[in-house]
Chain A
Amino acid sequence: MAKTAIERVRMARANNRPTGKDYIDNLFEGFFELHGDRQFGDDPAIVGGVAFLEGRPVTVVAIEKGHGVRERMSRNFGAPNPEGYRKAMRLMRQAEKFGRPVVCFVDTSGAYCGIEAEERGQGEAIAQSITTMLSLRVPALSLLIGEGGSGGALALAAGDEVWMLENAIYSVISPEGCASILWKDASRAADAAESLRLTAEDALGFGVVERVIPEKELGRESFYQSLKEALSGKITELAALDPDERLQKRAERFRKIGAY
């Protein structure tokens, strides 16, 4: 039986779901983590570095929620601060310099809502991250692996293609937030989840993502193996395009959403 939207929300948030680091460890070889934004600090909610994908060097950026209470706390539950997005931008520009494709893994309830995050320009960081991805002259691919929460997720999903796991969600606001603002009743989250059309099928239907990854074998070796092949194939395909043509297509990808 088809799952309801709120069931998808729960699955997307489930503790036992593979996180960004699991994908990094299983899809790439020799991941070397690079820390810091060179301006303020190092955001543990975003992991980035260089690795090999089937022998090809790539830059990897992942929002990391962590496993277990301790790690989840230390990673701020995958809610990035501005310095996290600035680290991601630094690594993406570095990828551009060395002609490396960029792969991003997105899993966040949203960019962190904090006093210091505002002081350091959370909005500016997200805006610049979107623009950076849109202007990157190397192939850029994003995977929504769990929660795709609003601008904090889009900041790392403005590349050539976005893929989404079957039970991941992508939404402009959390169902709880939507229900409490619209209906002054957070307990109506299930209704809000339904109305927001936040499932992978919805996103595919709206042209917001290009591919939905089945979860039947989620976390198993076979899952990572076929994902690795798909990723590698797509990067080969994207890399064959002229950079200007690739940028043109990337721009059109967003230009056509909600066009009249």
Chain B
Amino acid sequence: MDFLRFLYKPKNELEKGGRQSAPVTVGEGEITKPCPNCHNQIPLSQLWENAHCCPICDHHFRMTSRQRLHYLVDRDSFTELFEDVRTKDVLSFPGYQKKLETTENACGEKEGVVCGEALINGEPCALFVMEPYFMMGSMGAAVGEKITRLFDYATERGLPVLGFTVSGGARMQEGIISLMQMAKTSGAALRHSQAGLFYAAVLTDPTTGGVTASFAMEGDVILAEPGATIGFAGARVIEQTTRRKLPQGFQKADFLLKHGFVDAIVPRKQQRETLSMLLRMHKGGEGRG
């Protein structure tokens, strides 16, 4: 009955109420967060214990790059790289400098991606994790530069790359410089690939625009988080262009799997195991000439 599974799977916000199971108990004075899918109030402690997934409906909450690293990498194994790369307001775009300052203060990150080297279940890798709370992971020059440097760093050291994408697309305040980051990062991913090294991309909610049209789609293996929106053009733009109603589940992870653009959908709690296994599987094979 696998084909009926989609009937039961909660579709974000569309399925009001979602499935109900045992109610969560909230300790006195504990901070809660509403689940965007089932609308239950989830205590923060339970969210943290559960890899930021709803304990009731398994909705994958959006989370910061640091939270993701916390769940993913071996304790104390992460060394951050290129953290001082900051963007510049090269175009003197109206309001951009101020936007960067307020974003940095609100988000606590200096740019829309965190890069570093770490172990996952003992397997070494270079990794980048995009930051949804920094201008929705939009790709400006600094994001492009950090990801490019990470691929080059990994190429020099013979390391695999794991990349977690989340992005609203290009950072339009950086105009054409932003667009060129697609070619810059693709070039670095290409050098890494030509060195026979492994790159796995994990697409999280949302991965769109220029990131989808570059390094997100260049992995040897491409994974997606359950329920993630993944696409090139925005759903609203498509609706306006075509004047057609979008099919249910359009641009969701299941849709990409069905159309052959991701290899597998991996729930957050299984990612550590899956990724470390993939890292082991892609260590230099004996068949290489």
Instruction: Give the B-binding residues of A (Cβ under 8 A).
Output: 111-115, 117-124, 126-128, 130-131, 134-135, 150-151, 154-155, 158, 170-173, 177-178, 181-182, 191, 195-198, 202-203, 206, 208, 251, 254-255, 257-260
Contacts and interface: CB of A to CB of B under 8 A. Distances in A.
Contacts of B44: none
A83 to B, nearest CB: 14
Max count, chain A CB within 10 A of own CB: residue among B85, B174, B182, B251: B182
Contact of B247 (A115, A181, A182, A195): A115
Contact of A123 (B141, B217, B255): B217
B178 A121 contact: no
A195 B96 CA distance: 11
Contacts of B85: 260
A198 to B, nearest CB: 7
B259 A121 contact: yes
A58 B191 CA distance: 27
Contact of A111 (B86, B148, B232): B232
Interface of B: 85-86, 88, 90-91, 93-94, 140-142, 144-145, 148, 170, 172, 174-184, 186-191, 194, 209-210, 212-218, 231-234, 237-238, 241-242, 244, 246-247, 250-251, 255, 259-261
A203 B180 CA distance: 11
A250 to B, nearest CB: 8
5 contacts: A123-B213, A127-B216, A130-B186, A154-B183, A259-B145
Given A255-B184, A258-B180, 19 more contacts: A113-B232, A113-B237, A113-B241, A114-B233, A115-B250, A118-B231, A118-B238, A122-B213, A122-B231, A122-B232, A127-B215, A134-B186, A135-B194, A172-B210, A182-B172, A255-B148, A258-B177, A260-B88, A260-B142
A124 B190 contact: no
A113 to B, nearest CB: 4
Contacts of B242: 113-115
A135 B209 CA distance: 23
Nearest to A114: B242
Contacts of A196: 91, 172, 175-176
A254 B261 CA distance: 27
Contact of A203 (B176, B194, B215): B176
A113 B184 contact: no
B176 A197 contact: yes
Contacts of A259: 141, 145
B238 A254 contact: no
A181 B261 contact: no
B176 A120 contact: no
A157 to B, nearest CB: 8
Nearest to A173: B172
B190 A134 contact: yes
A120 B246 contact: no
A118 B232 contact: yes
A150 B179 CA distance: 7
Contacts of A134: 183, 186-187, 190
A121 B194 CA distance: 23
Contacts of B140: 258
A197 B182 contact: no
A195 B93 contact: yes
Contacts of A171: 175-176, 179
A150 B231 CA distance: 15
Contact of B187 (A197, A251, A258): A251
Contacts of B176: 170-172, 196-198, 202-203, 206, 208
Contact of B183 (A120, A121, A158, A202): A158
Contacts of A113: 232-234, 237-238, 241-242
B172 A118 contact: no
Contacts of B183: 130, 134, 154, 158, 254
Max count, chain A CB within 10 A of own CB: residue among B170, B176, B260: B176
B184 A151 contact: no
Contacts of B91: 195-197
Contacts of A154: 179-180, 182-183
A43 B255 CA distance: 23
B188 to A, nearest CB: 8
A115 B244 contact: yes
